[in-house]
Amino acid sequence: MNKRELELYIHIPFCARKCSYCDFLSFAAPERTYREYMDKLIEEICGQGPNFQGYRVSTIFVGGGTPSILPPDLIMELFATLSENFDISPDAEVTMEANPGTLTMEKLEVYRQSGVNRLSIGLQSADEKELKYLGRIHSYDSFLKSYQRARQAGFKNINVDLMSALPGQDVHSWKTTLKKVMMLKPEHISAYSLIIEEGTPFFERFGEKSCGTAAAVPNGAGAPAKTAAEVAARAAVMTLPDLPDEDTDREMYHLTREMMAAQGYERYEISNYARKGYECRHNIGYWTGVEYLGLGLGASSYTYGYRYHNTENLQEYLSLNLYEGGAATRDIEELSLEDKMEEFMFTGLRMMKGVSGSEFLERFGLNMWNVYGDVLKKLEKQGLIEVEAPMVRLTEFGIDVSNVVLSEFLLDRN
């Protein structure tokens, strides 16, 4: 049987502490809630499995939040349940997000036994002051210990998340962070500019001063501060130094590209770099239109031509009978042909290889130049894209203003 490809995203919303810049659906909770949530997540997995018997899972990504905050036994149960309910490819890429302050050898060994073959460790910065500004719970030293433990546990595919354009950051401190991380030789490095998101303490401090151009794949929306610690964190954010200006942000981006290339990292997407063969298959799936199923609180899905997401209310999620399938799905939207063509261009042009006219024709039955010819000619003339048939890709100049360029591919619905 020729099965269709499916990616799984598993959302673990719990964190030790909410970071001041984060708008993902995440929060601190007592440990008793972990068990209650995981019981419900397992129920959802069992309820959804029968709906996807015609699919084979190519990637699994356990994100959050901080999945590594969970006790090892809950992780073992999670992956055992996934294996029982979905057809998972023997060579599936299985990623676990982790925070340095929460990784132990016991957890790492359980991850390996459970089939996790890729770790994504959220460092963000090697500068202690910058980590404090972000509200991170770890130090650079604790990151180093976690990284070394992961290698000792046998992990041979590790991503390190970094963030530039931070409050008070300059080119020198960013360069130092890059050097320290590349010396460790991780297989993959994600390097995003900070995005100031509404509803976060950072938005209260910096408002519309955000200068980043590339955002990570969204997993949900944030929640208002509820604890005394979060209130204190919001107050501390008000005293932070200013963000780097836009020119400095772009200088950091170009420095990243140059330093990564010098150390053998290929930029395969606007903000992602990898050694050959270690590109993140899960994220490439998002950018190239592979169907994905989100499981857990607020998780987003794109399956059978529909986009939707689970409820973001924890108490509602915990009260549902999920054996019947679906976690009170919200905002169900059937994608039109125009929607699919727009997304093909939006996401595909994030990749350095660009988009293929041949693939556009195969997928939609239309010539890409007949649909987007005027836009493509204009952008090529402006030096924002380059055309090497059948491929179209962003130029370096186009990457610098990628949000503006990508907006050109919105189709007229009139």
- Give residue limits of the domains in the chain: 4-287, 352-407
Burial of 289 (0-12, 13-18, 19+ CB in 10 A): middle
Label residue 246 by pLDDT band (50, 70, 90). very high
pLDDT attached to residue 11: 98
Omega prior to 264 cis, within 30 of 0: no
Asked if pLDDT for residue 270 goes beyond 90, the answer is yes
| Paired residues of 96 in beta bridges | 62, 119
Ramachandran angles phi, psi of 7, nearest 5°: -110, 145
Range of lowest pLDDT (173-187, 232-246, 266-280):
232-246
Q: Which residue has the tokens 């029982």?
A: 84
Domain 4-287: CATH architecture, name and number where available:
Alpha-Beta Barrel (3.20)
Look at domain 352-407 and name its CATH class.
mainly alpha
Residues of the chain with pLDDT > 90: what percent? 83
In which band, very low, low, confident or very high, does the pLDDT at 258 lie, cut at 50, 70 and 90? very high
Of residues 223 and 330, more confidently modeled: 330
Does the predicted TM-score (pTM) go above 0.95? Answer: no
Q: How confident is the model at residue 221 (pLDDT cuts 50, 70, 90)?
A: very low
Average pLDDT of span 298-310: 95
Spatial distance between the Cα atoms of 174 and 403, rounded to a whole number of angstroms: 23
138, 101 contact by CB (below 8 A): yes
What pLDDT is recorded for position 153? 97
The residues near 165 (Cβ < 8 Å, ≥ 6 apart) are 193, 194, 211, 212, 243, 244, 248, 249, 252
Q: Give the whole-angstrom CA distance, residue 143 versus residue 153.
A: 15
Beta bridge partners of 334: 306
Distance CA 35, CA 369 (A): 53
Q: Compute the average pLDDT of residues 126-155.
A: 95
**Reported confidence tier of residue 208, pLDDT bands at 50, 70, 90:** low
pLDDT at 115 exceeding the cut of 50: yes
Is a pLDDT exceeding 90 seen at residue 314? yes
pLDDT for 212 beyond 50: no
**How do strand 88-98 and strand 391-394 relate by DSSP bridges?**
unpaired
Mean pLDDT on 53-78: 97
User: What pLDDT score was predicted for residue 20?
Assistant: 86
CA-to-CA distance for 313 and 41, rounded, in angstroms?
Answer: 14
